[in-house]
Structure 1
Amino acid sequence: MRVKAFRLLRWSGIVFGSAILLFALSGWIGSSLPRNSDWVEPEPGEGRTVEIMVGSNGVHTEIVMPLITPEMDWRTVFPVSDIAARDRPYTHVAVSWGERAFFLETPTWWDLNPLTAIRAMTGGEAVLHIAHYVRPAPSDDYRVLRLRPEEYRMLVETVRAQLVEGERREVLPGYAAHDVFYTVRGTYHIGNTCNQWTSDQLARAGVITAWWTPFPGGVMKWLPDFSGG
């Protein structure tokens, strides 16, 4: 019995390890295949542009947009009244995708429950994480991306299309005083992770990105390098 149990555990480990390696390999290959490969960032003298940022904490990516532009006033969609720190002079709003139970039950990685992560990857209710920022600084982890007004309008439209409006939208507490969660349309799963969602929003706006980006590096490598000079 012990021998059979050992063999079962060994083969289970081999299968699990192989699945992880296959997933990592698919992410590396998929993140090297471009979408919108003919897109180029507008030149400084080309006309008015909208500067956004794409941020990464090493695991999770988000899209950071100006709070107010001629194309969109995000205060009408993500009101500051939904957060605790309402009196700060916010200039930007960050939008990212996640699974409801995972987001709400994992405020830090020390709180990670493997069962919650597995349930999220197999399909769960999606939420948007909205964080309000005051003049976020560009860095290696927050890359600036200039969009043409029509491209930014497409980005706005694709984000707004996923929102639940009115009384059907739930407002859920965030991790800190400047952020909040909202219920949205759609489902979080292994094919629609936070990083894949970020890529998909950029692609729908016409920006160059990759086809398959389960990892943040697959998103960030298509963005302009940070220049701190």
Structure 2
Amino acid sequence: MKTLLRTLLIPALALITLGAIYFLSAFLGMIIPVGPEKEEYPKEVEIFVHTNGLHADFVLPTTHEVHDWKDVLEGKHFGEFETPYLSIGWGEKNFYLNTPTMADLTAPTLVKALFLPSTSAMHVDYMYGKPREGDHASSIWISEQMYLELVDYILGTFELEDGKAILIDHDGYYDYDQFYRAKGKYHAFWTCNNWTNRGLKKIGLRNSLWTPMDWGVFYYLEK
């Protein structure tokens, strides 16, 4: 009996210890800033960072003088109605496709997403308007040059064919979202929120050193 308990206890303690180290690392990575505290630049394009409680995504104007996402994203939605904004996120493909709500989350899906380098996908929501600022979204005004740099960063994550994003043949969560093929592997140390965090830092905005959680992405945006 003691041998059995020891056999069960050691792996359990190891998992708890690893989990504690991971979350402590996430906290420390969150509070360490990267980028200038304040920098003056023209406020020319309004973008948003939005979260659904798990994934922090970018919300961008569908069409702007410096970039038109309709040139890249081919889908049924653009032909049916005008959507002034779209939300773009990167994440684990299996999680994206098969977990529309937390009620759909299964243990194998979670374990694979956390512990195994997995295929990724892009998720695009076509939005009728701006997200409301508050607990789930932050507005950021950036220059046109910064916006172009952000567009380049995001496009660098899409798999493209003849300059077009490659649509994944799978239903979205609603009638106004789609999935596209993406580059990169998803794992516990490179999550959807790390991707958004890096995009902000790429264009010179102050953000956390490393943040696998969505709350870390917002930590410096809200200061």
* TM-score relative to the length of structure 2: 0.90
- CA–CA separation in structure 1 for the residues paired with 2:131 and 2:40: 20
Instruction: Report the counterpart of residue 12 of structure 2 in structure 1.
Output: 13
Structure 1 residue 112: Cα displacement? 0.9
Q: Which amino acid aligns with 1:91?
A: P
2:105 paired with 1:112? yes
> What stretches of structure 1 move > 4 A for 4+ residues in a row?
none
Equivalent positions of 1:179-190 (< 5 A) are 179-190=177-188
- CA–CA separation in structure 2 for the residues paired with 1:135 and 1:103: 23
- CA–CA separation in structure 1 for the residues paired with 2:118 and 2:180: 14
Structure 1 residue 119: Cα displacement? 1.4
Instruction: Report the counterpart of residue 49 of structure 1 in structure 2.
Output: 44
Describe the SS at the equivalent of 2:180. Answer: strand
Describe the SS at the equivalent of 1:89. Answer: coil
Instruction: Report the counterpart of residue 177 of structure 1 in structure 2.
Output: 175
Q: Are residues 86 and 109 of structure 1, via their aligned partners in 2, closer, same or farther at CA, if it must alter by over 3 Å?
A: farther
What is the alpha-carbon root mean square deviation over aligned residues?
Answer: 1.9
Q: Which amino acid aligns with 2:17?
A: S
Instruction: Give the conservation status (yes or no) of the 8 Å contact 1:95–1:131.
Output: yes
Q: Which amino acid aligns with 2:69?
A: W
Residue 100 of structure 1, aligned match among 79, 93, 111 = 93
The C-alpha deviation readout for 1:180-211, integer Å capped at 9, x for no partner, is 11011111112210110000111111111111
Instruction: Give the conservation status (yes or no) of the 8 Å contact 2:34–2:201.
Output: yes
Where does structure 2 lack aligned partners over 5 or more consecutive residues?
Answer: none
Instruction: Report the counterpart of residue 124 of structure 1 in structure 2.
Output: 118
Where does structure 1 lack aligned partners over 5 or more consecutive residues?
Answer: none
Describe the SS at the equivalent of 1:31. Answer: helix
The C-alpha deviation readout for 1:76-127, integer Å capped at 9, x for no partner, is 112342x4x8533311111111111111121111111122222122211110
Describe the SS at the equivalent of 2:3. Answer: helix
The C-alpha deviation readout for 1:28-77, integer Å capped at 9, x for no partner, is 000111111344364xxxx4510000001222111000011111101111
Equivalent positions of 1:146-165 (< 5 A) are 146-165=141-160
Structure 1 residue 137: Cα displacement? 3.3
2:84 paired with 1:91? yes
Structure 1 residue 166: Cα displacement? 2.2
Describe the SS at the equivalent of 2:196. Answer: helix
2:140 paired with 1:142? no
Q: Which amino acid aligns with 1:76?
A: D
Residue 199 of structure 1, aligned match among 183, 197, 213 = 197
Aligned pair count reads 218
